């Protein structure tokens, strides 16, 4: 086999060398400089390299040949633009000429249904139609807004799956898996208009990711496909199988949506919210007799949508979080900014993101320092054109080095450092010029490309990054695994990912907050405690690490750690037991209590759960084993609700509070609720609006054993020391 390949390559090289010599004599085009290449052999060598391998070579060639370099890769000349000024000249000043795509290699032709997708289509009417469809039907700001509940749904999926894997902060979490799955949930919903169950979403994720991860492996098939079809038959079969698997998963989803649309139309029902597939089913191609897209073309377009929207975003999310774990001071600064919103809501709303300039700076810095794609997709020119004194010919492929541009030390000070502050003025205002990622005026960083082929979803991608990072930082504190230094080395997959994926300890903030809140005042009490010898302590030197209860570790004159339980109690998280109600009288009492709750807009199931958890009928880690089952009296429930109202909480506040901390209804009104409020007001001077925000943020404060001196070894589940 080896010798046959050798003969083929030598023969082809010989023919190509002759052809190249003839071309050289015929056309006096001055191509940008580059290393000498032996036809076929050099092409073959380059083809076997990934873009990540190419990057360091190109950097060296840039030093030798200047900012624009030619290589012979595959059948075409490849021209690489390495600087921001040339990128601007090409992609912006000569935007229309540089907006074409080269002919697709054999494997891409199959995946893209012969370049009938947005990223592969030539610059012309088909591309315009498909791109306009995506931007108008899905990426228009009003459409993006309509997917806001879906983003909230996905946020909760990510939060819950992280909590589950981390066992409320005790175990380290492989972060990227959660981001990838979350982004698939979201993009699958935007694509097919349905919240599919986990199994189905995993199926879609699996077929799509197999393609992405096989991207490099199948490149070789494009080197004289007629030959590879004979000599690499198995690999071709593997490739076709992947495409078949993809069709098997995506086509039923497309058909199901088509059926639903038909039914909605026939039954004259209210129309379904528009999704990407709906828009594709409606497209007619005017240049092809007004025909509709084929099923295969729709599969290709959905696949493009899913890949473009999931892998890029989850990769960027991982890089940003890795830096926030590595540089704790940046994470703290971001969390401080988030706390200024003080909305009392569980979630940071999308409309509030614009109030967070530091967040935006963190995301921009993530995209500059770690752009998911280090190159734009291959471009081509519609006609020969001069650039920097050379000719870029029509038959060449053109590429732009995104990462290299973002790391240019002439534009960015200390370019390899992660410094979000570089995007802000001294008074914390975002620098408009630096944070412009379109490159329209001037190219400084272009993580989404620039010009006519620039990513059409940059706005959506920024929203996804800001929304998920803000909410995940609000909800959790992210720290490195003990002894882990966070390795920021890169590896090429479809995007440039972390070579060693991020593992992090992710613990609920609530405990962190309570700890900080009480630590200052309680330290005084701790000093007085007979079991402690405290010589020196600062708030920042306290860290929460493991679940072993050991409140008094002192080494030399520095606090090493205070270990606390990482339990965070959720309405839905605990194993449930049966609600036991005996007799008509108890049933009536139970129903009347539910009635009292219905005033706050709970549904029947939520009312059952709240009362069940508050009165020991359903398992709640808050009580542990200590709560006996009880059917409450209406007066007991009403008294607690009245007390909450008297604290200035509106009905919506009480709704949120009870969702977070249903057990409050089962707390003792005098010794717990009122007593704790009194301590908060008198000792901590927390009252009025501040008290309201505190209660919304951390309602469990109403049930804590608040005056514990911390010398009880924290056996009681409600001791502040445990949070």
> Largest Cα–Cα distance in the chain?
103
CB of 657 to ligand HEM, least distance (A): 36
Chosen residue from 179, 448, 515, 723 binding ligand HEM by CB under 6 A: 448
Residue nearest to ligand HEM (CB): 449
Residue 649 found at the interface with ligand HEM (CB under 6 A): no
Minimum Å gap between C-beta 323 and ligand HEM is 15
Tokens read off for 465: 């990054």
CA 42 to chain centre: 39
Is 455 annotated among the ligand-binding residues?
yes
What residue has token string 């005017």? Answer: 286
| Piece of the chain touching ligand HEM by CB under 6 A; list 371-379, 621-629, 647-655, 697-705 | 371-379
Q: Which is nearer to ligand HEM, 360 or 697 (CB)?
A: 360
Q: Which one of 49-57, 309-317, 390-398, 582-590 is the stretch in contact with ligand HEM (CB under 6 A)?
A: 309-317
Q: What is the 3-state secondary structure (H, E, C) of 209-235?
A: HHHHHHHHHHHHHHCCHHHHHHHCHHH
Q: Residues 122 to 141: which contact ligand HEM by CB under 6 A?
A: 131
Map residue 354 onto helix, strand or coil. Answer: helix
Count of CB atoms situated within 10 Å of the CB of 459: 15
Taking alpha carbons only, the member of 382, 395, 302, 400 closest to residue 123 is: 382
Site membership for ligand HEM, residue 447 (CB under 6 A):
yes
Range in contact with ligand HEM (rule: CB under 6 A) among 311-319, 467-475, 527-535, 633-641: 311-319
Least distance in Å: CB of 242 to ligand HEM? Answer: 21
* Per-residue tokens: 467: 């929304």
* By CB under 6 A, residue 357 contacts ligand HEM: no
Residue span binding ligand HEM (CB under 6 A) among the ranges 201-209, 301-309, 406-414, 517-525: 301-309
Decide: helix, strand or coil at residue 400: strand
Contact characters 315-344, ligand HEM, x per CB under 6 A: -x----------------------------
The binder of ligand HEM chosen from 103, 216, 225, 456 (CB under 6 A): 456
Name the one residue in this structure whose structure tokens are 């709640």: 620
Could you give the C-alpha distances from 486 to 319, 330, 403, 499, in angstroms and in order? 11, 15, 21, 11
Tell me which of 34, 169, 309, 439 binds ligand HEM, using CB under 6 A. 309
Q: Are 399 and 80 in contact (CB under 8 A)?
A: yes
- Estimate the crossing angle of helix 295-326 against helix 198-219, to 10 degrees: 90
- The residues, any chain, with a CB within 8 Å of residue 38's CB and separated by 6 or more, are 13, 17
**356 binds ligand HEM, rule: CB under 6 A:** no
Output the smallest distance, CB 446 to ligand HEM, in A. Answer: 8
Minimum CB distance to ligand HEM, residue 303 (Å)? 11
The reply on whether position 377 binds ligand HEM by CB under 6 A is yes
Question: Could you tell me which stretch among 23-31, 67-75, 451-459, 640-648 binds ligand HEM (CB under 6 A)?
Answer: 451-459
- State the nearest-atom distance from the C-beta of 541 to ligand HEM, in Å: 37
Task: Report yes or no: 650 and 607 within 8 Å, Cβ to Cβ.
Answer: no
Question: Residue 460 interacts with ligand HEM (CB under 6 A)?
Answer: yes
* Residue (302 or 486) nearer to ligand HEM, CB: 302
- Retrieve residue 286's tokens: 């005017």
CB nearer to ligand HEM: give 147 or 622. Answer: 147
Q: Does 118 bind ligand HEM (CB under 6 A)?
A: yes
Which of 32, 172, 373, 393 lies at the binding interface for ligand HEM (CB under 6 A)?
373
The CB-based long-range contact list for 36-41 (8 Å cut-off, 24+ gap) reads 37/71, 37/72, 38/13, 39/13, 39/72, 40/9, 40/12, 40/13, 40/16, 41/9, 41/13
Identify which of residues 309 and 357 has a Cβ nearer to ligand HEM in the complex: 309
| Identity of the residue, 131 or 419, whose beta carbon is nearer to ligand HEM in the bound complex | 131
Q: How many residues bind ligand HEM (CB under 6 A)?
A: 24
Least separation in angstroms between residue 118's CB and ligand HEM is: 4
Min. distance of Cβ 622 from ligand HEM in angstroms? 40
The reply to whether 397 sits near ligand HEM by the rule CB under 6 A is: no
Please check whether residue 114 is in contact with residue 432, taking contact to mean a CB–CB distance below 8 angstroms: no
Q: What is the DSSP string of 596-613?
A: HHHTTT--HHHHHHHHHH
CB of 302 to ligand HEM, least distance (A): 11
Q: Site for ligand HEM (CB under 6 A): which residue of 86, 104, 443, 454?
A: 454
Shortest distance in whole angstroms from residue 279 CB to ligand HEM:
12
Q: Are strands 397-400 and 76-81 parallel, antiparallel or unpaired?
A: parallel
Determine the Cα–Cα distance for residues 388 and 313; give it in Å rounded to an integer: 34
Spell 328-360 as b/e; 16+ CB within 10 A means b: eebbebbbebbeebeebebbbebeebeebbbbb
Alpha-carbon distance 184 to 276, whole Å?
14
Residue 376 sits in the site that holds ligand HEM (CB under 6 A): yes
Cα(514)–Cα(509) distance, rounded to whole angstroms? 9
Under the binding rule (CB under 6 A), the answer on residue 308 touching ligand HEM is yes
Q: Which of 184, 305, 467, 623 binds ligand HEM (CB under 6 A)?
A: 305
Selected from 84, 107, 303, 313, the binder of ligand HEM by CB under 6 A is 313
143 scored as a contact of ligand HEM (CB under 6 A):
no
- CA-nearest of 111, 113, 40, 101 to 75 is 40
Q: How far apart are CA 550 and CA 722, in angstroms?
A: 10
Q: Is 453 in the site for ligand HEM (CB under 6 A)?
A: yes
* Beta carbon nearer to ligand HEM, 407 or 723: 407
Tokens, residue 330 = 């940046």
Residue 67 sits in the site that holds ligand HEM (CB under 6 A)? no
Q: Which range, of 29-37, 420-428, 441-449, 478-486, touches ligand HEM by CB under 6 A?
A: 441-449
Question: Taking CB under 6 A as the rule, does residue 455 contact ligand HEM?
Answer: yes
> Per-residue string for binding with ligand HEM, 70-109, x by CB under 6 A?
----------------------------------------
Dihedral sign of CA atoms 26, 29, 34, 40 in order:
negative
To the nearest whole angstrom, how small is the minimum distance from the Cβ of residue 312 to ligand HEM? 3
**Of 207, 457, 504, 526, which lies in the binding site for ligand HEM, with binding defined by CB under 6 A?**
457
The 397-400 sheet, strands edge to edge:
68-73, 76-81, 397-400
Nearest-angstrom CA–CA distance, 498 and 489: 6
Q: Which is nearer to ligand HEM, 308 or 356 (CB)?
A: 308
Binding positions for heme: 455
User: What residue ranges bind ligand HEM (CB under 6 A)?
Assistant: 118-119, 131, 304-305, 308-309, 312-313, 316, 372-373, 376-377, 447-449, 453-457, 460-461
Please enumerate, by residue number, every residue annotated as part of a binding site: 455
């Amino acid at each position: 086999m080896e010798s046959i390949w050798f003969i083929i390559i030598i023969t082809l090289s010989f023919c190509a060398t002759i052809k190249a010599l003839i071309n050289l004599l015929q056309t006096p085009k001055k191509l940008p400089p580059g290393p000498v290449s032996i036809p076929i052999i050099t092409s073959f060598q380059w083809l076997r390299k990934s873009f990540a391998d190419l990057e360091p070579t190109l950097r060296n060639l840039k030093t030798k040949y200047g900012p624009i370099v030619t290589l012979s890769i595959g059948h075409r000349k490849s021209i690489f633009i390495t600087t921001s000024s040339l990128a601007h000249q090409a992609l912006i000043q000569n935007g229309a000429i540089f907006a074409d795509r080269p002919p697709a290699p054999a494997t891409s032709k199959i995946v893209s249904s012969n370049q009938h997708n947005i990223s592969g289509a030539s610059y012309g009417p088909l591309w315009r139609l498909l791109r306009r469809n995506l931007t108008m039907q899905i990426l228009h700001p009003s459409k993006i807004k309509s997917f806001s509940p879906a983003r909230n749904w996905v946020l909760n999926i990510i939060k819950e799956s992280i909590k589950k894997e981390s066992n409320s902060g005790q175990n380290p979490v492989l972060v990227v898996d959660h981001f990838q799955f979350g982004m698939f949930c979201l993009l699958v919903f935007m694509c097919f208009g349905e919240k599919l169950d986990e199994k189905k979403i995993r199926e879609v994720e699996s077929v799509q990711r197999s393609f992405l991860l096989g991207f490099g492996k199948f490149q070789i098939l494009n080197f004289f496909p007629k030959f590879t079809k004979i000599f690499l038959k198995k690999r071709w079969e593997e490739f076709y199988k992947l495409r078949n698997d993809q069709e098997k998963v995506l086509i039923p989803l497309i058909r199901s949506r088509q059926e639903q649309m038909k039914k909605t139309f026939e039954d004259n029902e209210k129309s379904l919210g528009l999704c990407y597939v709906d828009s594709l089913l409606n497209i007619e191609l005017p240049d092809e007799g007004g025909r509709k897209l084929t099923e295969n073309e729709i599969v290709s377009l959905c696949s493009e949508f899913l890949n473009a929207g999931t892998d890029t975003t989850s990769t960027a999310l991982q890089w940003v979080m890795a830096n926030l774990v590595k540089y704790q001071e940046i994470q703290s600064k971001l969390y401080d900014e988030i706390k200024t919103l003080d909305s009392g809501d569980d979630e940071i709303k999308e409309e509030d993101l614009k109030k967070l300039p530091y967040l935006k700076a963190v995301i921009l810095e993530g995209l500059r320092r770690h752009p998911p794609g280090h190159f734009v997709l291959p471009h081509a020119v519609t006609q020969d054109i001069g650039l920097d004194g050379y000719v870029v010919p029509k038959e060449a492929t053109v590429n732009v080095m995104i990462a290299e541009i973002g790391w240019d030390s002439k534009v960015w000070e200390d370019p390899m450092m992660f410094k979000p502050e570089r995007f802000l003025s001294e008074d914390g205002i975002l620098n408009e010029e630096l944070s412009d990622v379109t490159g329209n005026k001037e190219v400084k960083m272009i993580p989404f490309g620039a010009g006519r082929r620039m990513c059409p979803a940059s706005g959506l991608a920024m929203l996804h990054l800001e929304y998920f990072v803000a909410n995940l930082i609000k909800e959790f504190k992210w720290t490195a695994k003990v002894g882990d230094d966070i390795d920021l080395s890169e590896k090429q997959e479809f995007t440039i990912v972390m070579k060693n994926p991020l593992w992090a300890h992710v613990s609920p903030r609530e405990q962190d907050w309570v700890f900080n809140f009480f630590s200052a005042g309680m330290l005084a009490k701790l000093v007085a405690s007979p079991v402690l010898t405290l010589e020196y302590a600062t708030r920042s030197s306290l860290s929460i690490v493991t679940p072993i209860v050991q409140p008094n570790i002192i080494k030399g004159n520095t606090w090493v750690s205070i270990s606390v339980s990482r339990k965070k109690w959720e309405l839905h998280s605990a194993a449930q037991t049966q609600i036991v109600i005996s007799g008509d009288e108890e049933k009536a009492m139970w129903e009347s209590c539910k009635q009292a709750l219905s005033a706050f807009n709970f549904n029947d199931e939520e009312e059952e759960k709240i009362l069940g958890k508050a009165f020991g009928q359903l398992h709640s880690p808050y009580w542990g084993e200590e709560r006996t089952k009880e059917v409450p009296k209406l007066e007991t429930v009403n008294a607690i609700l009245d007390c909450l109202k008297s604290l200035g909480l509106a009905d919506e506040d009480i709704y949120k509070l009870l969702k977070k901390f249903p057990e409050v209804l089962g707390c003792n009104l005098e010794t717990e609720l009122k007593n704790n409020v009194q301590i908060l007001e008198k000792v901590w001077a927390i009252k009025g609006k501040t008290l309201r925000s505190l209660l919304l943020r951390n309602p469990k404060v109403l049930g804590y054993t608040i005056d514990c001196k911390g010398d009880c070894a924290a056996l009681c589940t409600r001791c502040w020391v445990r949070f």
